[in-house]
Amino acid sequence: MRYRELDRISDLMSNEDAALQIISRFGLPLGVGDKSIDDVCRECGIETGTFLAVINYAVGALRAEEISASHVDIPTVMIYLNNAHSYFLDFLFPRTRQELIEAISAVKTGSSIPLLIIRLYDDYVAEAKVHIAHENANEFEKHADDDEHLAVKMRELKNLIIKYYPSDQQNGLLYSALADIYAIEKEMALHCAIEDNILLPALMERNTVADKAELLSDREKDVLVQVVKGLSNKEIADVLCISQHTVISHRKNIARKLNIRSTAGLTIYAIVNGLITINDSVNV
C-alpha cells in the first residue's frame, strides 16, 4: 500500500511496524489521534512529500526510480539522518554490546570465541562510526564502499555466533543480543539505501545546478554563510565590518547569481558546496 498525504498517520503507525523507526527519526510524536500524515508533518516542520517518499520507499511501496530528486527536501532528509545517527550511536550500539557482554559472561569454558565475538562487534561499530562521521561532515560521496564493508563485517559476526559459539553454553541473553544484531543489520541497510537512493541523487542534482551558477566572490560567500546562520543584515554588517547597504547589495548579487531567493534554498547551496555544515545552520 502506498501512503498519501491525507491518509491518517495512525493507520500508517498501526499497519507498518517497519515504518515506526523511520517515523520516530523524523521527530513525529505519538498521540496523533485521527490527524492526517500531512497535518502531523506540517505541525512538526517536516516536508510531507519527502517524508512520504522515505516512508513508501522503506515499506516497499515506492521504487527508487519513482522518486524525483528535484522534489526531495534535503533539510528534511538530514533531520532523518541525524536522528538515525543518534539512535545508532547513543542507544542501539551500546545496548547490544552490553547484551553481548552479559551473555558471554556466563560462559564456563576456556573458549576464546566469546571474546572474539566482542572484538568483531567492536570492529563493526568502529566501521559504522566512520560511515556516520563522513555523513556528519557532509562527505556522502566518500563512503561509497562503506555499505559493503559493513555488510561483510556483520556476516562474519553472525556466522561466528551461529556456527562457532560453544554448543554447551546456550543462554537466552545471547539469543536476545543476536536479535538486536539482526535489527542493526536491517536498519543500517535501510539507512544506507535511503542515502544512496534518495539523498545522494538529490544532492547530485543540486550540485549540477550549482555548477551552472555564476561563481560567488569570497565576500559574497562570507555574506551567504552569515545569512544561513540566521543573522540579520545589521548583524552581518557588524561581523564582517561592512555597511548594511553593502550587505544588501551582496545579498542581491547572491540571489541573482544563484537564482535562489529563499533562505532554505541558500542553506542547501551552502551545505552542498561545503561552505557550512548542517550543524552551522539554523534553517535545517
pLDDT tens for 35-89 read 999 999 999 999 999 999 999 999 999 998 898 887 888 888 888 988 999 999 9
Residue 96 — very low, low, confident or very high, per pLDDT cuts 50/70/90? very high
| Contact assessment for residue 164 and residue 113, using Cβ atoms and an 8 Å cutoff | yes
| Contact assessment for residue 154 and residue 125, using Cβ atoms and an 8 Å cutoff | no
Residue 241 — very low, low, confident or very high, per pLDDT cuts 50/70/90? very high
CA distance 195 to 60: 16
Cβ neighbours of residue 127 under 8 Å, at least 6 residues apart?
A: 146, 149, 150, 153
Residue 280 — very low, low, confident or very high, per pLDDT cuts 50/70/90? low
C-alpha cell belonging to residue 14: 498501526
The answer to whether domain 213-280 has CATH 1.10.10.10 is yes
Note the pLDDT of residue 165.
85
At 8 the three-state DSSP class reads strand
Is the four-CA dihedral 24, 84, 202, 252 of positive or negative sign? positive
CA distance 53 to 83: 17
User: How far separated are the first and last CA of the chain, in Å rounded?
Assistant: 30
What is the average pLDDT across 204-228? 77
C-alpha cell belonging to residue 219: 565576500
pLDDT tens digit string along 102-141? 888 877 667 788 889 999 999 999 999 988 887 777 666 6
Note the pLDDT of residue 34.
96
